[in-house]
Amino acid sequence: MARSVVSIYNQALARLGGEQLESVESTWEDSALGRLCNNNFPEILDEALSRHDWSFALKSQALALKGESDRPDYIYRYGLPTDCLRAVELLSGGTFVIEGIDILTSTSPPTLLYVTRVEDPRRWPPAFATSLSWALAATLATSKVNDKQMQQYCLQNYEITIADAIARDLNQSLPVYPRSKWVLSRGGEL
């Protein structure tokens, strides 16, 4: 079954023992419950995406020069990409600082690696989608059913599932470290 935003909404609602939304073709967006989910979900998604350098959400882009920096420790001022949730590193090397919607650096020309907003749920790994449903359930626990204990329970499960999703994401892209000559010779590879 293809994952959808509505299925994540329904997972969150199921965790609260509540009603379910209909398919996308229905008028779920016109219901109070649908609006509640729609209004809270974008912020939840951005927060979860900002927590880690998700392999499915990394993007690189050459930055556009805006002018010179007025700070003595950085020479240039570049505009951040509009879809940037969190800057990771300059692929062209060097240090940087974020100042509002600008990035200051002495590197020219810089290419920024950053976490971007990924709104297509088919691109999210299952563990990430599960964590989103727990985060939405935590929000709905106070806004829909007004249950602080349920909110705490959902927040705890969100923290557990987002940590699991991060670990899974890290495990699929482990760095390869060069083996020393000693290790190679000991294994008979030299």
Q: Tens digits of per-residue pLDDT, 111-128?
A: 999 999 999 999 999 999
pLDDT at 27 > cutoff 90: no
pLDDT of residue 30: 67
pLDDT bin (cut points 50, 70, 90) of residue 175 is low
Cα 118 from Cα 46, distance rounded (Å)? 9
For residues 47-55, average pLDDT:
96
- pLDDT higher at 47 or 186: 47
For residues 12-32, average pLDDT:
71
**Do 112 and 81 form a contact (C-beta atoms < 8 A)?**
yes
Listing from the earlier edge strand, what are the strands of the sheet with 96-99? Answer: 65-68, 76-79, 102-105, 96-99
Calculate what percentage of the chain has a pLDDT beyond 70. Answer: 86
Question: Which secondary-structure segment (H or E) carries 101?
Answer: none
pLDDT of residue 24: 47
Instruction: Report the amino acid identity of residue 144.
Output: K
Between the two ends of the chain, the Cα-to-Cα distance in Å is 50
pLDDT bin (cut points 50, 70, 90) of residue 25 is very low
DSSP string, 36-99: HHHHHHHHHHHHHHHTS--GGGEEEEEPPEEEE-SSTT--EEEEPPTTEEEEEEETT---EEEE
User: In this structure, how many other beta carbons lie within 10 angstroms of the beta carbon of residue 25?
Assistant: 6
Distances (CA, A) of 52 to 8, 14, 65, 144: 20, 27, 27, 29
pLDDT of residue 184: 64
pLDDT at 83 > cutoff 50: yes
For 98-112, 136-150, 174-188, which range has the lowest pLDDT when averaged over its residues? Answer: 174-188
pLDDT of residue 173: 67
In angstroms and rounded to an integer, the radius of gyration of the C-alpha atoms of the chain is 22
Cα 36 from Cα 166, distance rounded (Å)? 27
